[in-house]
Chain A
Amino acid sequence: MNYVYLLNIVDNGILGLGFVLLFFFVMIISAIIVRRRDEPLLREISTYSKLKRSINLAVESGQRLHLSLGSGGINYMQGGSALAGLSLLKRLYRMAGLSDRPPVATSGDGTIGVLSRDSIRSVYDEVGVREEYEPTSGQVSGLTPGSYIAGTLPVILDQQVSTNILMGHFNSEIALLADASERRGSLTVAGSDNIAAQAVGYASTENLLVGEELYASGAYIQANTMHIASLHAQDFLRWAIVSVILVAGALKLAGVL
């Protein structure tokens, strides 16, 4: 009886809203703790350390950075990974936007394309050089997964890119982008919300962002309080979910559930 009642609550969405609210409160508490600390407490992710070094090198040597935001749109769940990429795009432009070869962002969806150009323009506005803004620095390379890959390959191969950051929704076609990047001798950083793309990415590049690491770019590259707080909230809730799964499994084995 209680089990059916619990299922009804899940159906009504109260549990979902409760989870989101719990996430919100854990984030706020984490933000307070992070503000009190002098140094953010983050585990080492070697890919982000390499990426930071590579961004600095690109700025110094006047080479281009390429951020590929994938082919997912914001009207689906895949948009989350592209939004994480957009957050990184702003940071890239703050660091390297005024270099000889400013970063270029490619996307496979109209809305992400508009948002990428808006993000780039906002950074130029911030530093007061709006006239430097190039609308083609936020490109829509193709509107289907295949055409997106075909349209992005020339950017990787022909534009003297030193680092390719593949951060968004991809399918197994990510191998074509990673392969082109490796052939050019560029650093390839890959992260996707898609399991197939992650498996292919593991084989294609040494610098893979696995699972939730993709969403941690803000905390590692920007070191913004809310980004770090959200990362701590993610860690806390992941352990909470793991505990619930283990307890539920044990109860099921014991015949209680």
Chain B
Amino acid sequence: MRQLRTSIVVAIAVITGIIVLVGYFIELPVLENLRIILLHYAVIFIAVALIVGVVNLVQVHWKKFQNRQPGGVYSLILIISLLVTIIVVGYFGPTSTPSLWIFSNIQIPVASSLIAVLTVVLTYTGVRLLKRGLNLFSLLFMATVLIVILGTVSFQGFRIPGLSELRTWITQVPAVGGARGILLGVALGTIATGMRILMGSDRPYGR
């Protein structure tokens, strides 16, 4: 019985995937309509999954608070903040003054703080890369970073001659070439993952 259920689930996933994929490439009205209907269903499922995600988030943090795990107090703060935000936005509306106040005075400063911490961590990471052991690639990496940074900024109006041009060449020629090469690999990897799922040999959705 379980095997049959698994087969049905796989069949639905594979057929749906094939319809959406072929409908994307071939302009057949029947296929196009079917594809749009399936994508609308997908959007609804994604919205439901978002709610499930929020419930899971609360579940994880409530358990953490209940079990008195390290940082449990922060988990309680998160749950209270979430409830307050839902009540405020639900009651006043998402574009109301109280909702925008929460967004501007809490969410944006918190996100900005994270970016500030990231800046420090990235600088430290660069230093750690050099400490980890010098090799040709790490030297090349750091030299490129320095050239790009120094070529971007000026010191009270003074620019090192030729550095800006070198920076432009690096960002427009080798960096773009390398990035395209990597993206090509990523695209092929994504197609391979999709093909395995369409063939039912890779199932990230149960048995």
Is A133 an interface position by the 8 A CB rule?
no
Give the interface segment out of B51-59, B85-93, B151-159, B163-171. B51-59
Is B46 an interface position by the 8 A CB rule?
yes
**Which residues of chain B are within 8 angstroms of A179 by Cβ–Cβ distance?**
121, 124-125
**Which residues of chain A are within 8 angstroms of B125 by Cβ–Cβ distance?**
175, 178-179, 200, 203-204
Is A95 an interface position by the 8 A CB rule?
no
Give the interface segment out of A20-28, A37-45, A59-67. A20-28
Contact status B186-A87, CB under 8 Å = no
Report how many A-B pairs have Cβ atoms within 8 Å: 204
Contact status B188-A237, CB under 8 Å = yes
- Bound CA–CA A136/B122 (angstroms): 31
Q: Which of A121, A175, A193 contacts B190 (CB 8 A)?
A: A193
- Chain A interface residue bracket vs B: 35 or more
**Which residues of chain A are within 8 angstroms of B190 by Cβ–Cβ distance?**
77, 80-81, 193, 215
Contact status A142-B207, CB under 8 Å = no
Q: Which of A109, A115, A172 contacts B204 (CB 8 A)?
A: A115
Contact status B21-A238, CB under 8 Å = no
**Which residues of chain B are within 8 angstroms of A16 by Cβ–Cβ distance?**
24-25
Contact status B53-A136, CB under 8 Å = no
Contact status A113-B53, CB under 8 Å = yes
Q: Which of A74, A77, A140, A215 contacts B192 (CB 8 A)?
A: A215
B residues 46-68 touching A (CB-CB < 8 Å): 46, 48-54, 56-57, 59-60, 63
Per-position binary interface string of chain A over residues 170-190, scored 1 when its CB falls under 8 Å from any chain B CB and 0 otherwise: 001101101100100000000
Q: Which of B71, B117, B189 contacts A158 (CB 8 A)?
A: B71
A residues 134-150 touching B (CB-CB < 8 Å): 135-136, 138-144, 146, 149-150
Is A234 an interface position by the 8 A CB rule?
yes
- Bound CA–CA A23/B57 (angstroms): 39
Known: A109-B53, A158-B71, A173-B118. A23 touches B195 (CB 8 A): yes
Known: A16-B25, A24-B195, A113-B56. A206 touches B121 (CB 8 A): no
**Which residues of chain B are within 8 angstroms of A140 by Cβ–Cβ distance?**
53-54, 56-57, 60
Contact status A172-B49, CB under 8 Å = no
Known: A175-B122, A226-B196. A135 touches B206 (CB 8 A): no
Beyond the given A75-B42, A80-B194, A113-B49, could you list 13 further A-B residue pairs with CB under 8 A, ordered by the A residue number? A20-B25, A23-B195, A110-B52, A117-B56, A135-B56, A140-B53, A195-B183, A202-B129, A204-B125, A210-B182, A211-B186, A211-B189, A215-B193
- Sort A-B residue pairs by CB-CB distance and give the 5 closest, nearest first: A215-B189, A110-B53, A211-B185, A80-B190, A212-B185
**18 A-B pairs in the complex with CB atoms less than 8 angstroms apart:** A20-B21, A23-B192, A75-B42, A75-B43, A83-B193, A111-B45, A114-B49, A122-B206, A136-B56, A138-B56, A141-B60, A143-B57, A176-B114, A176-B121, A195-B183, A202-B141, A211-B184, A241-B184
